[in-house]
Amino acid sequence: MKKATLLILILIGWSSIVFAQKDRSLALTPPMGWNSWNTFASNINETLIKEMADAMVSSGMRDAGYKYLVIDDCWLAPERDSLQNLQADPKKFPHGMKALGDYIHSKGLKFGIYNCAGTKTCAGFPGTRGHEYQDALLYASWGVDYLKYDWCNTDGINAKEAYTTMSKALEATHRPIVFSLCEWGNNQPWLWAEPVGQLWRATGDIGCSWYNQPHTDGSWTPNGIIQIINLVAPLRQYAGPGHWNDPDMLEVGNGLPVNEDRAHFSMWAMLAAPLIAGNDLRNMSEETKAILTNRGVIAVDQDSLGIQGLRYEIKDSVQTWMKPLKGGDWAVCFLNTASQPQAIDFDWKANVVKDSLSNAELNANAQPYVIEDLWTNKTLGNTDKTLKATVPSHDVLMIYLSKQQKAVSKKKHR
Contact 370, 411 (CB under 8 A): no
Nearer to ligand GLA among residue 245 and residue 294 (C-beta): 245
Residues known to be catalytic: 150, 205
Q: Out of 182, 193, 239, 291, which residue is the one contacting ligand GLA (CB under 6 A)?
A: 182
Nearer to ligand GLA among residue 72 and residue 355 (C-beta): 72
Does the footprint of ligand GLA cover residue 122 (CB under 6 A)?
yes
Q: Are strands 360-362 and 353-355 parallel, antiparallel or unpaired?
A: antiparallel
Least distance (Å) between residue 269 CB and ligand GLA? 20
Least distance (Å) between residue 88 CB and ligand GLA? 16
Q: How many residues bind ligand GLA (CB under 6 A)?
A: 9
Least distance (Å) between residue 126 CB and ligand GLA? 13
Rounded alpha-carbon distances, angstroms, from residue 88 to 127, 166, 347: 13, 20, 58
Does the footprint of ligand GLA cover residue 183 (CB under 6 A)?
no
Q: Are strands 199-201 and 178-181 parallel, antiparallel or unpaired?
A: parallel
Least distance (Å) between residue 122 CB and ligand GLA? 3
Task: Find the binding residues for ligand GLA in span 28-57 (CB under 6 A).
Answer: 37
| E strands in 337-404 | 342-346, 353-355, 360-362, 369-373, 379-382, 387-391, 395-403
* Residue span binding ligand GLA (CB under 6 A) among the ranges 76-84, 120-128, 161-169, 191-199: 120-128
Q: Out of 72, 171, 261, 329, which residue is the one contacting ligand GLA (CB under 6 A)?
A: 72
Q: Which residues contact 335 (CB under 8 A, 6 or more apart)?
A: 229, 263, 266, 267, 318, 319, 320, 321, 391, 396
3-state secondary structure of 200: strand
Position closest to ligand GLA via CB: 122
CA gap 181, 215 in Å, rounded: 23
Task: Find the binding residues for ligand GLA in span 4-33 (CB under 6 A).
Answer: none
Contact residues for ligand GLA (CB under 6 A)? Answer: 37, 72-73, 121-123, 150, 182, 205
